[in-house]
Amino acid sequence: MKRNVAIVGGGQTYHAARRHDVNQVEMVNEAVRRALDDAEMTIDEMDAVLLGNMEFFEGTHMTDCWMVDGSGVYGRSGLKITTGGTVGATIVCAGAHHVASGLFDRVLCIGFEKQEEGDTGAILSGVAHPLYGRSMAGAAVGYFAMMGTSYMATWGATEEHSAMVAVKARQNARKNEYAHLKLDISVQDVLNSRMLAYPIRILDMCPASNGACAMILADEKTARDRSKKPVWIRAMDTAHNEQFELDWRDVTTKRKIFSRVCAERIYKKLGVKDPAEYFDVFEIYEPATWSELVWYEDLGLCRPGEGFRLVEEGKTGIDGSIPVNPSGGVLSTNCIGASAMLRVWEAALQIRGDAGGHQVPRDVRRALSTAYGGTNWTVMIALSADRDD
């Protein structure tokens, strides 16, 4: 990037299945005000406001235009980008591009979803090609179920292992004041929960949440002058996957997989040899338990087929050697358009030491966030307390 970019503030709403007390504009505004307060800045200092959500999820065309009062973009520069579930991270990348370009010094980035207001079934089945598969859309749960059967058959993991991921997420969420599903559950509770699509049970899946996240990115001078704890964006990378060939669920595939390709590229940019050692914390986008195990392997935190050992040995717990999703992750909070931005913001909070109850008990200097959406798309963002390292 031409100019260094720092995260100088952020904020999120509390996340819940029901937010009948606010409309979408007001919910977005909650996150925006928290971000401005956190950065000790005013809306008038924002040179641009960028917004993203899962387009048309709530049945509204051009949400950016409706959100104007809440986002604070009235009279200001701005735009809307949509990339599905990855959009929150895409917006952060867009914000970084804005700042790095030299044309903007302070940029407000917003991601949100008020899932309860939309028609989840209608909109998610609309992801399938209208003339090839929409009439048979198996929904995300069927996809991740096949990933689970493939993983178990190939690597010898059991349903207990995915349940351990489910427990870790919800127990971490209990330490996060903003999280949605704060459940005091055990492996047995997960295994006893309702089966949706073998081997996926309801506690193996992310919830439908309402919520918003906002972040403020700034150039180096602003960061130095105004922020006590700037967090630097060190590298970003995006990999989308083609429309029809969705091999991620087949753990034996020999094809190039979006997640591995993207990780390889971002590690190369940073000179990362051993990601588990290089990064102090990971915030990853795991819509289902099995995908968290596959992420471990694709990110190179362990060898292929050993992901389930990491969770079994507690290595990815808050106090483990490779903490993954101390926030509770997407399994605990999924407000789609905000979910990917929450990964970045939670990673930044860890580096600042401001994560509160779910702060990782170690010196956190570097963090990696991932996003997930579309037909196997990801955006990865690497953060650091140090501008150059």
Partner 1 sequence: MGSDVHEEELISIPITVDVPYRFAAGKYLGKFLVELRDNGTFYGIRCPVCKRVQMPPRIVCAQCHVKNTEWVKLGNEGTLVGFTIMYIPLTDPTTGKPHDPPFTYGSVKLDGSDSVLDHLVNIEPDVSKIWVGMRMRVVLRPKGERIGDLSDILYFEPLEGQVQPE
Partner 2 sequence: MSERVAIVGVAQTRFSAKRADVNYAELAYEVIEKVLSDTGLEIERDIDNSISCSHDIWDGQTISNIGITDVIGGHLRNEEKMAMDGSTAVYYGAIGILSSEFNCTLLMAHTKMSQTNRNIVNNDAFDPIYTRILGFDYTSAAALQAKRYMDRYGITGEQTAKVVVKSRANAAKNPYAQVKESITVEGVLKSPIIAAPLREMDIAPDSDGAVAVILASEKRAREITDTPVWIRGLGTCYDAHYLGDRDLAECMALRKAAERAYAMAGIGDPPKGIDLIELGDEFSYQELLWLEGLGICREGEGGKLIDSGVTALEGALPVNPSGGVLSGVPANVMGLRSAAEAALQIMGKAGEHQIPDARTAVVQGHSGFCGQHHCVIVLARD
Partner 3 sequence: MAEETNYEIFEVDQHITAHSRYFAGKMGSLFYRTLRDEKKIMGVNCKKCNKVFWPPRSTCGRCFSQLAESDMVEIGPQGTLETFTLITYSEPVHPRTAPFIYGIIKLDGADTGMAHIIDEVDFDDLSIGMRMEPVFEEERKGTILDIRHFKPVS
Residues interacting with partner 2, by CB under 8 A? Answer: 1-3, 23, 48-49, 54-57, 59-62, 64-66, 68-69, 73-84, 90, 94, 96-103, 123-124, 126-127, 129-130, 236-243, 256, 258, 261, 373-375
Site stretch for partner 1 (CB under 8 A), options 126-134, 326-334, 340-348, 363-371: 126-134
Is 226 one of the binding residues for partner 1 (CB under 8 A)?
no
124 vs 276, which CB is nearer to partner 1?
124
For partner 2, which is the closer residue by CB, 83 or 332? 83
Q: Considering all CA atoms of the chain, what is the largest pairwise distance in Å, rounded to the nearest integer? A: 58
Classify residue 58 by its DSSP letter.
Answer: T
The Cα 112–Cα 67 span in angstroms is: 10
The binder of 9, among partner 2, partner 1, partner 3, none, by C-beta within 5 to 8 A per type, is none
Neighbours of 116 (CB within 10 A): 15
Q: What is the distance between the alpha carbons of residues 359 and 378, in angstroms, rounded to a whole number?
A: 25
Among 79, 126, 220, 278, binds partner 3 (CB under 8 A): 126
- Alpha helices per DSSP H over 156-186: 159-173
In the complex with partner 3, the residue whose CB is nearer, 79 or 100, is: 79
Q: Which two tokens stand for residue 362?
A: 């170690």
**Quick check: 126 binds partner 1 (CB under 8 A)?**
yes
Q: Return the residue of 39, 46, 190, 197 that touches partner 1, per CB under 8 A.
A: 197
As a whole number of angstroms, the distance between CA 158 and CA 149 comes to 9
Nearest distance from C-beta of residue 243 to partner 2, angstroms: 5
Q: Which does 83 bind (CB under 5 to 8 A by kind): partner 3, partner 2, partner 1, none?
A: partner 2
Q: How far apart are CA 384 and CA 280, in angstroms?
A: 10
* Residues 371 and 380: beta-carbon distance below 8 Å: yes
Q: Count the site residues for partner 1 by CB under 8 A.
A: 45
**Rounded distance, CA 364 to CA 341, Å?**
19
Can you spell out the DSSP letters for 351-375? HHT--GGG--SS---EEEEE--BTT
Compute the least distance from the CB of residue 78 to partner 3, in Å.
13
Strand-pairing partners, residue 48, are 77, 107
Asked whether position 128 contacts partner 3 by CB under 8 A, the answer is no
Nearer to partner 2, 96 or 152 (CB): 96
Size of the site for partner 3 (CB under 8 A): 32
* Nearer to partner 2 (CB atom), residue 86 or residue 227: 86
In Å, how far are 76, 144, 300 from 293, measured between CA atoms? Answer: 43, 12, 11
Residue 249 is a binding residue for partner 1 (CB under 8 A): yes
26 binds partner 3 per the rule CB under 8 A:
yes
61 scored as a contact of partner 3 (CB under 8 A): no
Residue 124 belongs to what H/E stretch?
A: helix 120-125
Nearest Cα neighbor of 204 from 218, 217, 187, 221 is: 187
Distance (Å, whole) CA 227 – CA 39: 7
CB closer to partner 3, 126 vs 305: 126
The two three-digit tokens of residue 158, written as one number: 């059991």
| CA–CA distance, 180 with 174 (Å, rounded to integer) | 9
Strand pairing category for 5-12 and 210-219: antiparallel
Applying CB under 8 A, does 74 fall inside the site for partner 3? yes
From candidates 1, 40, 59, 277, binder to partner 3 by CB under 8 A: 59
Kindly list the residues in this chain that would bind partner 1 in the complex (CB under 8 A): 14, 16, 18-22, 59, 119, 121-122, 125-126, 129-139, 141-142, 145-146, 148-150, 153, 194-200, 242-245, 249-250
Kindly list the residues in this chain that would bind partner 3 in the complex (CB under 8 A): 19-26, 29, 33, 42-44, 58-60, 68-70, 72, 74, 114, 116-119, 122-123, 126, 130-131, 134
